[in-house]
Amino acid sequence: MGICYLYGAGTYYSDNTEVPADKDYVIAVDGGYNFLKKHNIVPDLIIGDFDSIEKGNDGNILSAADIPIISFPPEKDYTDMYLAAEEGIRAGYTDFAIYGGCGGRIDHTMSNISLLAHLASMNCRAFLIADGYIITAVKDSSFSLSAEGMLNPALNLKAKKNGYISVLSHSDISEGVTISGLKYEADDITLTNTMVLGTSNEFCGRDAFISVSRGTLLILCEGGAVL
């Protein structure tokens, strides 16, 4: 199975654009369609309440042909990005890359970080591309970083070899947290979502391993990404 790419209406931090492979699933999340159209990437699905998408001169919301569209009213319980991720899961994907999910309104950024935790609870792995950082989440599981700083070769995500890595608890309590291969290591400790103990660890160019026995961790890696 390929990767489900979610392109939102937030900020994009690179002009380098990688065209997803045929096996990948590309979802334009509302105004994320503006970015895809600019880079001549045709999505497999367009979803949203369409409050941030550019309207054509003819007044139509979309000028795309033969692209499935799922429209929601602005008054809804879930964000467009959440609903897009659910469509990705429904299509059978378990690996997600979220672009345009940061910048602008801080509440949207925070909700997309929470979405990482939700996807982790669904046995999925998702990466949110932020400004100089790549964020992911793990639940009752583990995460490895290669000595080359690679987060996910398939997504061209690469952490800085000497960059910062923060490991924070998203759940109220995260038990059995083990960190090895980073500057500051830990063995079977407990973190809570009111602690900042895991902030500003450092990648040392060694293979690194982060795990949690019970709970959800957010892992924020200083690095870069090719779109």
Same domain, 140 and 90: no
Percentage with pLDDT > 70 across the chain: 91
Provide mean pLDDT across the span 217-223. Answer: 94
Q: What is the pLDDT of residue 196?
A: 92
**CATH code for position 108:** 3.40.50.10240
Question: Hey, CA dihedral for 91, 5, 84, 29, is it positive or negative?
Answer: negative
- pLDDT for position 52: 67
Q: For residue 42, what are the domain limits?
A: 1-131
Same domain for 100 and 153?
no
CA separation (Å) from 88 to 11, 18, 75?
Answer: 21, 19, 22
116 pLDDT higher than 90: yes
Q: pLDDT tens for residues 131-159? A: 889 999 999 999 999 988 888 888 888 88
What does each C-alpha distance from 159 to 7, 37, 200 come to in angstroms?
Answer: 21, 28, 14
* Residue 186 host element (H or E): strand 186-192
Q: Say if residue 181's pLDDT is above 70.
A: yes
Coil, strand or helix at 130:
coil
- The whole-number pLDDT of residue 57 equals 39
**Domain end point (choices 98, 131, 164):** 131
What is residue 93's predicted lDDT score, i.e. its pLDDT?
Answer: 97
Average pLDDT, the chain: 89
Number of domains in the chain: 2
Same domain (yes/no): 139, 196? yes
Both 102 and 208 in one domain: the answer is no
Shared-domain flag, residues 152 and 202: yes
The answer on 138 and 67 residing in a single domain is no
Query: Higher confidence at residue 77 or residue 140?
Result: 140
From 88, 105, 131, the end of a domain falls on 131
CATH number at 162 reads 2.60.120.320
Query: Based on the domain organization, do 125 and 145 belong to the same domain?
Result: no
Model confidence at 51: pLDDT above 50 = yes
Residues in CB range of 84: below 8 A, 6 or more apart: 6, 27, 29, 45, 47, 48
- Please check the confidence at residue 58 and state whether its pLDDT lies above 50: no
**144 plus 123 within the same structural domain:** no
